[in-house]
Structure formats: structure tokens, C-alpha cells
Amino acid sequence: MSRKFTPKVVTANDLRMGDVVYMTAAGSWTRDHAEAELIEDEAHGELRLLAALGQPGVVVGPYLAEARAGANGPEPVHFREVFRTRGPSNYPHGKQEAAHV
């Protein structure tokens, strides 16, 4: 019994800066979850993860995180991934800080 595949994005942390990045359809990395490639096919997901693992000089710890289609692009599903798109809740640091620049 295989479970139905749910959509994913490839995410990791940037090697130098340590911040959260997402893989785009072009295979580059973005800081914006909405610009990530929404992967809807399991086999394609495996290939994209392999591509990410092949860039150890750019990112650390890539993995597939659950996501869903939103009005402006992919949106995170789990609260942990929501926090990763934003930053901590006690200070306006992280991505939420860069957002208003």
C-alpha cells in the first residue's frame, strides 16, 4: 500500500549564510518559498533532491518538505516550514526582516 504522493518543495540551508533556501524549477536557489518549484510527482521529487544533494558546496541538508499550491506560488503546510519561511516569533529577524527591505 503506497501512500498518495503529496506535493513537495526541495529546501535546505545555505552553506555560507546558514539561511533557508528553496530550489526553483530552473535548479537555482531562492530565499522565497513562493518561487520554489512545486513538485507533484514522486519520481521527479527524488531527482530534484538528488540534484540538490549534488551541490554540497552551496547548500546543507536538503530535503523534501510538504507544500501546496497557493495564489502566489507554493505555500508551506507544516508549522515548522511556516516558521522557516518567516523567522523566529520573538524578534523580527530572519526572512521577515528582509521582507520589508
Partner 1 sequence: MYKYSDFDEAFVRERAAQFRGQVERRLSGALTEDEFRPLRLMNGLYLQLHAYMLRVAIPYGTLRADQMRQLAHIAETWDKGYGHFTTRQNIQFNWPKLTDVPDIIDALADVQMHAIQTSGNTIRNVTTDAFAGAAADEIADPRPVAELIRQWSTDHAEFQFLPRKFKIAITGSADDRAVIRAHDVGLQIVEKDGETGFRVFVGGGLGRTPMVGQELRAFLPKADLLPYLEAIVSTYNLMGRRDNKYKARIKITVFENGIDAFRAATEEEFARIRPSFEGVDQAMLREIEAQFALPDFEAAPVEFYERALEVDPLFRSWASQNLTAHRRADHAIVTVSLKAHGETPGDASAEQMRVLAEIAERYGYGELRISHEQNVVLPHLRKADLPAVHAQLLRAGLATANVGLLSDIIACPGMDYCALATARSIPVAQELATHFRKIGLEEEIGALKIKISGCINACGHHHVGHIGILGLDRAGVENYQITLGGDAGPATTIGERAGPGFAYDEVVPAIERILRAYLALRADRAESFIEAFRRLGPAPFKEALYGEARDAA
Q: Is 45 in the site for partner 1 (CB under 8 A)?
A: no
Which alpha helices (H) appear in the chain, and where do they start and end?
42-53, 79-86, 95-99
Q: Minimal distance in Å, beta carbon 101 to partner 1?
A: 15
Out of 46, 61, 63, 70, the only residue in the binding site for partner 1 (CB under 8 A) is 61
Residues 1-30 binding partner 1 (CB under 8 A) are 13, 15-20
Query: Between the CA of residue 5 and those of 17, 18, 59, 70, 77, what are the distances in Å?
Result: 32, 29, 25, 18, 14
Q: Which amino acid is at 66?
A: E
Q: Which are the contacts of 76, defined by CB distance < 8 A and separation ≥ 6?
A: 33, 65, 66, 67, 82, 84, 85
Among 3, 4, 91, 101, binds partner 1 (CB under 8 A): 91
Stretch that binds partner 1, among 29-37, 42-50, 68-76, 92-100 (CB under 8 A): 92-100
What is the binding site for partner 1 (CB under 8 A)? Answer: 13, 15-20, 56-57, 60-61, 77-80, 83-84, 87-91, 93-95
